[in-house]
């Protein structure tokens, strides 16, 4: 397919977009999706068929499980669009942990290396939550200056027990505040008194805040174990809201991302000249958020077979139906236990559980 007629931007959701059963429709109908499930299961010694389709919401919510499973679904949808239908982006971005799917789509890392590094990221983030009881809240309906003013009342920049940082800039009046739970209670009360709305996010810690600095330093040691490439298409970094294409910039920004703020709305300004924006992965929250800001732009989510068919029709790309017999599907279900990820240095007491970011959705 020729992308010259329409500029396509692809965005990838992060943690909080996981839902039991995600990707099942595509898995049952598309061989390329089945193959990626098998490869991911072998790589991380995890049965992703069971995790995504037959575990529990609680198990899927754990940090390592959520972040790796969301990446798998996003990468599978992207690979289907690219490999089978020739639909490729002109620019990519991913929200928080979703940036790893964007990096894969841009050619910055291989599928296996991305999975490996994402798992390490999740493990260190979870470890960081053991020392301080932190969380995150979504704040809606107030301007940025007002939200920052409220946080400044309670945030002590020299303290790790009195933390309140605006860490996600999702839209013009849509923010996420990360901090210690006792301080977040005070912020919540002030936001409501000022006429805003607040909702607690389903995360285990104060992610993207200074409480993640130690985790970022530990994570950096494992970055040498993977191969980074110069990007095939520009990626808009969460951390600086600018396009990057070199592997050196990629390595620098991916390490900073863990403890840096997510400049999502600022990043989306790089997509303003896109004719079509696709949210690729198990969510429609990012696309809905953008539609509220840009109601006249073509913005679609792609996370089911019907979404794929609808997109192909819009782009004038022929749809190819793939029929798989039960025996073929059952064969892919039985993933071997052979690991293909890079060898890892023993991780002291890393625990598999989960974190980061549900994108706040206006009610």
**What's this model's pTM, rounded to 2 decimal places?**
0.85
List the beta strands (DSSP E) in the chain: 8-12, 91-94, 134-140, 164-171, 174-180, 197-200, 235-236, 243-244, 276-280, 298-302
Q: Which two tokens stand for residue 278?
A: 């696709």
Q: What is the DSSP string of 147-176?
A: HHHHHHHH--TT-SSS-EEEEEEEETTEEE
Q: What is the pLDDT of residues 275-319, one digit of tens each?
A: 999 999 998 999 999 999 999 999 999 999 999 999 999 998 887
Q: Which DSSP letter does residue 262 get?
A: B
Start-to-end C-alpha separation, the chain = 38
Q: Which DSSP letter does residue 258 get?
A: G
Low-confidence spans in the chain with pLDDT less than 50? 1-4, 325-329, 332, 335-363
Q: 3-state class of 330 per DSSP?
A: helix
Q: What pLDDT, on the 0 to 100 scale, is given for residue 330?
A: 53
Helix boundaries (H) for 129-246: 144-154, 181-193, 213-220
> CA 267 → CA 79, 134, 241, distances in Å?
24, 26, 4
Neighbours of 253 (CB within 10 A): 19
Domains of the chain: 8-129+211-333 (3.40.366.10), 134-205 (3.30.70.250)
Contacts with 234 (C-beta within 8 Å, 6 or more apart), sequence order:
90, 91, 92, 106, 243, 244, 245
Contacts with 100 (C-beta within 8 Å, 6 or more apart), sequence order:
67, 71, 94, 109, 114, 117, 118, 121
């Amino acid at each position: 397919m020729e992308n010259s007629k329409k500029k396509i931007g692809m965005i990838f959701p992060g943690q909080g977009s996981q839902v039991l059963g995600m990707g099942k429709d595509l898995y049952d109908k598309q061989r390329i999706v089945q193959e990626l499930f098998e490869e991911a299961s072998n790589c991380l010694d995890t049965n992703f068929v069971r995790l995504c389709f037959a575990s529990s919401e609680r198990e899927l919510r754990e940090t390592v499980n959520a972040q790796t499973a969301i990446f798998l679904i996003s990468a599978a949808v992207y690979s289907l669009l690219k490999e089978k239908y020739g639909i490729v982006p002109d620019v990519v971005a991913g929200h928080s942990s979703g940036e790893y799917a964007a990096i894969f789509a841009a050619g910055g890392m291989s599928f296996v290396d991305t999975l490996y590094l994402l798992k390490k990221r999740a493990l260190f983030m979870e470890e960081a939550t053991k020392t301080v009881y932190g969380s995150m809240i979504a704040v809606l309906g107030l301007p940025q200056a007002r939200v920052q003013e409220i946080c400044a009342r309670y945030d002590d920049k020299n303290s790790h027990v009195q933390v309140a940082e605006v860490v996600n800039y999702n839209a013009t009046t849509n923010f996420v505040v990360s901090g210690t739970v006792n301080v977040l209670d005070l912020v919540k009360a002030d936001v409501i008194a000022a006429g805003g709305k607040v909702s607690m996010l389903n995360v285990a810690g104060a992610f993207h805040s200074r409480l993640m600095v130690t985790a970022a330093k530990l994570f950096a040691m494992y970055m040498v174990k993977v191969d980074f490439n110069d990007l095939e298409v520009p990626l808009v970094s969460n951390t600086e809201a600018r396009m990057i294409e070199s592997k050196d910039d990629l390595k620098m920004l991916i390490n900073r991302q863990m403890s840096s703020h997510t400049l999502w709305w600022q990043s989306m300004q790089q997509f303003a000249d896109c004719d079509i924006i696709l949210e690729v992965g198990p969510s429609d929250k990012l696309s809905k958020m953008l539609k509220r800001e840009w109601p006249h732009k073509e913005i679609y989510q792609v996370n089911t077979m019907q979404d794929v068919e609808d997109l192909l029709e819009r782009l004038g790309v022929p749809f190819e139906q793939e029929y798989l017999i039960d025996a073929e599907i059952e064969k892919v279900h039985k993933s071997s236990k052979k690991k293909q990820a890079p060898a890892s240095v023993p991780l002291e007491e890393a625990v598999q559980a989960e974190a980061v970011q549900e994108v706040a959705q206006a009610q």
